[in-house]
Amino acid sequence: MWDHHTLHQRTGTIPGANGRLGATEEYAGRLHNFVLTDEGTLRSVVGPCEYHPRSYANTGGSVPLATVYGDPLLGVHHAVIGGRSILLAHYQGDYPVIGDLLSVWQHKPWSPGWTPVITDNLSLHELSEGTGVNVYAPFEDDEDRPAFRTQFVTTPRGVVIIPQGGRACMTDGVAIYPFGYDRAPAPPQAHGPAPTKSATGVWVGTADELATPRDAADFPNDGGYSHDGRAWEEIWGTCRLGSLRDDVLDVESGGSRKSNPLGGVLLSGEWRAALQWENYFGDLSPLSGLSQPVTFRKEDNLVQEKSKDEPESSAKLRMQVAWSHLQAGPLGTTGRVLARTKDLLNSGMPGLWQLFNNAAAGSFTRVTLPDNVVSVFPDNLPDSWLVLPAVKVDPMPRFRLGEMYDGCFWLARTEDEPNMYRPSLPGRYGTLPEGQKYYADAPVVAMHAIAEGMLLLTEQSVSLVFPSQGGEGYQTRTLRSGAGCVSPDSVATLPSGITLWLGQNKWFAYTSQGVVEVNQEYKEEVTGRITRARQQQAVAAVDPRTGEYRCWVPINGSTTNNVCMICDDAGLWRTRDDVHAAAVCVTQDSRQLMLALGSALVGGTRRNSLWVLDREGGADAVRPDLVTAVVETVWLRNARAQRHGTGVQFSVWLRETRDGEVTFEAFRDGRRHPAVATSTTTVATRATDAWTPLWDDADNVLAGTHREAEYGTYLENYWARRRPFWRREDVFVPSAETLRFRVSGTDWELAGMAYSENDSHKGGNALGAGET
Amino acid sequence: MWWFPERLPKSGTVVDPVDYSAGYLPAAEELGRLDETNFNSALQAELDAGADLAEDVWLRWKLLAVNYEWDDIRSVAAAGRQTVGAVGSWVPVDTLDYSFAGRGGILDVHTTIQCWRLPGVGDAYRSVAYLQSGIEIDGTVVMEGALGDFDVGDEGQAMEVGRTGLVWRDALNVAMPVAPGHHRVRAVVRLIPKVLTYFGETGGYDAFSLNTLVDTGFLGTLDAIFDPMDPAPDAYGSVFLGSREMLIIEKT
């Protein structure tokens, strides 16, 4: 709105900021420590408060004991598994017995503190007991080197914890075990028949057998672990293992006057077995190597002609075998699969098949041995019953990245193959099917599931992974080269579906228009100042309530994330620094709290804790220092700076918050120092020209504001919303090229700004040059 | 402790209903939801590892009572007092009567009832009639949990035939699986005459008292004592029910 000498340039709402020199006046130049309200105003950040408040135990109510959140702060994650709320954090804590402990800690709501679940001293703690069990060495990375933060991935069975440089593990809040198996069991030992006479002609067998030696040629399977059905009562039936030919009739053995009147021959046969573990979370180990074979030798269905024995069916020749030395699995193993070949000489079917432990039913039982104790399995299962192929599994490598997509757990960035990414079996999140691997063009930095597929972000590019149109496996399409990612935790998706991530000194977004670069505005303030050596520790999350993408990054050489870039659904950017978040998450329960593991200013010093953002907390909570929210205009009148103007009045549209004040400053001509006008007294954060109900500590709750002061009579009580109001600050900045105003304070709310100026141009009355 | 109000009313802040509502809402939400956050450390140990806290752990309870404290038996006319005189059939206990619609599951019912006989005549009557008490679910007394179930075995005499004496308190508990739907739970008592097997049997009755009663002419004839069909309350004395309560826990 222009008039000849006075300019009123109004900016109704200014939810976004733009740091560019020539930014249009619809933007603020800087918006710091504001949160967008439901009404579209900006209110200064409140809180944070501690998630686990300081303990008042054993202090007599005097000085609270601090829960120790020592550096490094490496990760935080919340999940709900089976209705159970699981909160995990990774930091250097203080355990009552052990002392300083870099650990992944679990927070149990019913318990007064944090319990270590994985520690750096080779221990993996049973969650229920809190005692250490030496299992493996999860952490090599016990110092705060530049690295990705500890990764957490929620699966339907539990949370996968991926320490950087350590072995991943999985917890459902009750138990914690190594994620998948990194090794295979030993092969089982075979027990089957042997010839009664060894190859060297020596008689072998038990003492009874040797006392009545039999013809090794006629009874070639009578030694060793020899169990067939011939000695059984008829009602017991026969054994089941072995291939028969029943078309051979009346074979006579000349030496011993034996014949085969009913016919039938047990053919030579061979079987091998392999073992596989299954753990608490349903993950399978790689199959062991194949056992030594169980071997049957060809045997005729002979009877002695002069004996009184009746001829028997050749089915009586079938045998049973046994497998022993079934190795018990490591901690977390709850069952074992014993797999066996079919008759390798006769079946013509290669491969291993799962045995089951019940002859009557259960050919689809989960595992062969539902325990981790027994070491022997008597095997009387015929080949024809074997219908479940054994699952071929690769060992679980050490890896740094994980993501859930398409019902599978995807892992990437293994120690040996940083470019490789691969899926698990569906439903078995720690079980890697043999050989299913994919490779990217550069080391993988992040994987992030979105509606269209899974974004695969490498150091160089971004691709989309989606199910193969061929129907088996997955395929990849590169979306944009040169739009790589630097930190896996910087990736997050806004409610609108736009996915943002931090690249090299810039943010990128995957939108319906493809991959685009965003946030050029804050280059000078933030993006250009990111500590490059530490950018891989940037962390981000989307606040469900405001829909804001919040990404904490280290700037100005800081080794910790010391500023948060905010982008809302409208693509508008702001900053905040109430918490220096080393890790961040959103609780997945009804509370939808945003939690940040990091530091905040308490009494002027930075203090580590797990903070609940945007919450003030209970009355007895540790109260961090109030943050100062700052709004600065852009350089006003920059589009007409060649014509000097005089700033006359600056107005802010506020909304009542408290009985306080904000600081006002004015700058001129492109310099943000010194302020040419400063006022701290006149811009009140409540309307002073109208009745405002105030809370007070006095006995009457509203401290007299709800009664008429003069007569002491009570006014009618009613609830009133905080009202917006204008505050004008007279300012005189004579003949300036550009103007800039700054308002800062604690606990205040901004709705809009306006300013007025007098154009220094003298209209048509100025004399022409040289006309004196 | 586990909810985090967004803003606290502080001196000098502008009173705003939306701000304050935001402060109260987390607590209200928390109260409306049952999960392990609501359990203390002692109770959580009883939760199985496989418990689905969204589904498995669910209970509701109802407490009915007439006084929680021991009734002063000297004031016979205290409010809520109930007299049980008729012999033979189960009598509902006043107030301990609850109907509800449930999701099905285990019904865990506990009752305690304070009982006494009229001061002065208790001695005379204590071996004459027994008070049995039980819990009735959907019209059927759960005899397995009743005092006086006639399950003569190794149990104490009171468990078999009921209680007698001057002053006592019965505490019962039954747990029953019930189907989803409407149910009615009541506490019931009944007075029965003492069953005599033969004179002088240990535990059958108190010979001294019996003789005393006959000798003093208090009871008249022995027939009056041993006829189970005789409904005359004055022959067996009345039992008074004082403070009592019933706790019903429905576990799903």
Q: Three-state secondary structure along chain B? A: CCCCCCCCCCCCEECCHHHHHHHHHHHHHHHCCCCHHHCCHHHHCCCCCCCCCCCCCCEEEEEEEECCCCCCCCCCCCCCCEEECCECCCEEEEEEEEEEEECCEEEEEEEEEEEEECCCCHHHHCCCEEEEEEEEECCEECHHHCECCCCCCCCCHHHHHCECCCEEEEEEEEEEEECCEEEEEEEEEEEEECCCCCCCCCCCCCHHHHHHHHHHCCCCCHHHHHCCCCCCHHHHCCEEEEEEEEEEEEEC
Model pLDDT, residue B188: 94
Q: Would you say residue B213 has pLDDT above 50?
A: no
The residue among A615, A622, A715 with the most chain B CBs within 10 A of its CB, best to mutate, is A615
User: What pLDDT was estimated at residue A764?
Assistant: 45
Query: What is the rounded average pLDDT of the residues A680-694?
Result: 64
Q: Which of A167-176, A416-425, A502-511 has the lowest mean pLDDT?
A: A167-176
* pLDDT over 90 percentage in chain A: 40
Residue B170 banded pLDDT, cuts 50, 70, 90: confident
Mutate to test the interface with B, among A67, A110, A688 (most CBs of B within 10 A): A110
Binned at pLDDT 50, 70 and 90, residue B120 comes out as: very low
Bigger pLDDT: A522 or A495? A495
**Per mean pLDDT, which of A353-362, A494-503, B3-12 is the most reliable?**
A494-503
Mean pLDDT of chain B: 68
- Answer whether B5 sits within 8 Å of A721, measured CB to CB: no
**Across the interface, do A591 and B26 touch by the CB < 8 Å criterion?**
yes
Q: What average pLDDT does the segment A742-765 reach?
A: 79
| Per-residue confidence (pLDDT) for residue A84, from 0 to 100 | 82
Question: Within 10 A of A182 (CB to CB), how many other CB atoms are there?
Answer: 16
Distance from CA of A622 to the nearest CA of B (A): 12
pLDDT score of B207:
38
Largest CA distance in chain B: 87
The whole-number average pLDDT for the span B181-196 is 81
Instruction: Tell me the mean pLDDT in the region A640-647.
Output: 85
- What are B's interface residues with A at a Cβ cutoff of 8 A? 1-19, 26, 29, 33, 35-37, 39-41, 43-44, 49, 51-55
The predicted structure's pLDDT at residue A138: 44
Query: Is the pLDDT higher at B71 or at A726?
Result: A726
Name every residue whose Cβ is closer than 8 Å to that of residue A356 and which is 6 or more positions away in sequence.
Answer: A362, A363, A364, A365, A368, A381, A385, A388
On whether ipTM exceeds 0.85, the answer is no
- Whether the per-residue pLDDT at A452 is higher than 70: the answer is yes
Hey, are the CB atoms on A692 and B7 less than 8 Å from each other? Answer: no
Give mean pLDDT, residues A586-601. 91
Take residue A120 and report the two structure tokens written for it.
């750096």
Q: Which residue has the tokens 């806004």?
A: A494
| pLDDT for res B194 | 61
Contacts of B50 (CB under 8 A, 6+ apart): none
pLDDT at A1: 30
pLDDT at A196 over 80: no
Contacts of A435 (CB under 8 A, 6+ apart): A394
pLDDT over 70 (residue B83): yes
Contacts across the A-B interface (CB distance below 8 Å): 107
Mean pLDDT across A742-747 = 90
Mean pLDDT of A40-66: 66
Tokens coding A409: 């757990």
pLDDT band, residue B199 (cuts 50/70/90): very low
Question: Given this model, what pLDDT does residue A505 score?
Answer: 81
Residue A26's pLDDT band (cuts 50, 70, 90): confident
Residues in chain A: 772
Q: Which residues of B touch A51 (CB under 8 A)?
A: 4
Output the average pLDDT for chain A: 81
Quickly state the pLDDT bin for A541 (edges 50, 70, 90): very high
